[in-house]
Structure 1
Amino acid sequence: MTALGLLYPGHSAEDDYPRIEQLLGSDIRVDVVHTDPGEDARGVDALRATGSADRLAAGVAELRLAGADAVVWACTSGSFVHGWEGAQQQVRALAQAAGLPASATPFAFVHAARELGVRRVAVGATYPDDVARLFAEFLRAGGLEVTGVRASGTATAAEAATWGEAEVLALARTADAGEAEAVLLPDTALHTAAHLPLLEKTLAKPVLTANQVTVWEGLRLADRRVNAPALGTLFTREPVVQM
């Protein structure tokens, strides 16, 4: 049994994770511990507070008791708003507190893109424009080329969590650019696990979504590889040999 520990802020789209666990169809357990999100607002200061060290540390003990093999901070914006170096410091502090391999969702996007061998990506974000641009800067710091950013401007995670298949598909379509090799939907408050096959069929390219890559990152940290076609190209491709 491989147990993945996820720290998730508040309550929005966490029901994606039991769905993903079921679709993995293997001896994988996905444990979710909810952290205090603070104010549900998408300003930079509020997002930085969401990922503060004390809030993350508060959930670590529960994950350790659950027997997690790795821990992932399942929040994209609460990590990348600190910048590349700041997000690395956040992850190092989390690993030290947990005594486990650790990562965060924005790093999962970079690692997943490298896994697929793609460099040019388009971003479809539910965030306000300024926050979406910070995610693009983070991706560029990770060596990716961002061909375009489409921000929908939702003000809260609660609002993003109400989106259904039609809204998610529309966001991906408007974000897509012909030169992009993959489309990234970075919000962990957005339900996407059920829509991955349709997204990739419609766009005819890999689509990476926050909750999908978060679980994949946990598996990567735990040195597990699982074939699960219903979870998109990321869970079916053989790893790319990095030169």
Structure 2
Amino acid sequence: MASVGFLYPGYSAEDDYPRLESLLGGSVSLPLVHTDIGEDAHRVDALLEMGSAARLAAGVDDLKERGAEAVVWACTSASFVFGWEGAHEQVRELSATAGLPASSTSFAFAHAVQALGARRVAIAATYPDDVAERFHAFLKSAGTEVVSTRASGIITAAEVGTWGLEEVLALARAGDHPDAEVVLLPDTALHTAEHLPALEAELRKPVLTANQVTAWEGLRLLDRTLSCPVLGTLFSRTAQI
């Protein structure tokens, strides 16, 4: 069985990963290891420390012992906060440490947007304004046009992890834009694995969420394609929209 390992910062929505594994029919193993986050804060200095090479390296051996064939840093903010080049260096170091293909949630979003053939996206973020704008800049570096960025000003992942379907739907509605072909919800602390059908039905367009694209990115690293429409358009097809 194929196995993708995830380095997940702290504790908030990590239960999305066994849920994703179940929804994918048990055809792939998705082991997860928690990393030490230091301070739980959507603040640039804290995020740079959270995504440091030493913190990520500490979980690699555990993932390899659990059979991981690729590893993904399951965090958006503590990858894009390094900027386009810095985020590339982060995953290069992670790959070298693990001796495995590696990526991060930030690159998962960039690759997923490309796979859908989308040109214009809207960001519906839990983050403060300055952090959300860094994600906007990261996507721009990937060649994606961001038509709107909505920031919610939430400081901690712990708070985001308490949100249920109604809060997630409200975030997506607030962040949508009529010119956006796809809406992005970039926080792995947000529970979304069970909410993708409701999100896409509400917005009537593809929705990409952090834990969804992170799992998809891991499969992409292994050159595996799994169809699972309950996980949204991304897992239903990779065609022009």
Deviation per CA, 1:54-102, whole angstroms, max 9, x where unpaired? 0000000111111111100000000000000000000000000000000
Aligned partners of 1:203 and 1:43: how far apart in 2? Answer: 30
- After TM superposition, the structure 1 stretch with the greater mean CA deviation from structure 2, 65-74 or 87-96, is 65-74
Shift of 1:238: 3.6
- Separation in 1 of the partners of 2:70 and 2:90? 15
* 1:31 equivalenced with 2:31 (yes/no): yes
- Does 1:41 find its partner at 2:52? no
Runs of 4 or more consecutive aligned structure 1 residues displaced over 4 Å after TM superposition:
none
CA distance in 2 between counterparts of 1:108 and 1:23 reads 19
| Partner-residue secondary structure (3-state), 2:32 | strand
State the match for 2:200 in structure 1: 200
Residue 221 of structure 1 is matched in structure 2 by 221
Q: 1:239 to 1:64 in 2, by over 3 A?
A: farther
Give the equivalent residue in structure 2 for 1:20: 20
Aligned counterpart, 1:211: 211
2-structure distance, mates of 1:53, 1:187: 20
Secondary structure of the corresponding residue to residue 47 of structure 1: helix
User: Structure 1 CA distance, aligned partners of 2:99 and 2:123?
Assistant: 33
- Residue of structure 1 in register with 2:161 after alignment: 161
Equivalent residue number for residue 103 of structure 1: 103
Deviations 1:149-190 (A, max 9, x none): 111111100010011111100110011001100000000000
Normalising to structure 1: TM-score of the pair?
Answer: 0.97
CA distance in 2, matches of 1:186, 1:238: 20
1:23-55 deviation digits (Å, cap 9, x = unpaired):
001420100000001001111000000000000
Following superposition, the deviation at residue 239 of structure 1 comes to 5.0
Aligned partners of 2:29, 2:216: CA distance in 1, in Å?
A: 12
Matching residue of 2:181:
181
Q: 2: distance between equivalents of 1:50 and 1:202?
A: 34
Equivalent residue pairs, number: 240
Give the whole-Å Cα distance in 2 for the aligned partners of 1:186 and 1:231. 16
SS across alignment from 1:124? strand
Q: Structure 2 length as normaliser, TM-score?
A: 0.98
Once residues 90 and 102 of structure 1 are traced to their aligned partners in structure 2, the CA distance between those partners, rounded to angstroms, is 10
CA distance in 2, matches of 1:28, 1:80: 27
User: Where do 5+ consecutive residues of structure 2 fail to align?
Assistant: none
Q: Structure 1 vs Structure 2: percent identity of aligned residues? A: 65
Give RMSD over aligned pairs.
0.8
Which amino acid in 2 is paired with 1:182? V
Match of 2:133, SS state, is helix
2:81 equivalent to 1:81 = yes
Query: AA paired with 2:124?
Result: G
Instruction: Give the SS at the match of 2:168.
Output: helix
1:71 alignment partner in structure 2: 71
What code does the residue aligned with 1:77 have? S
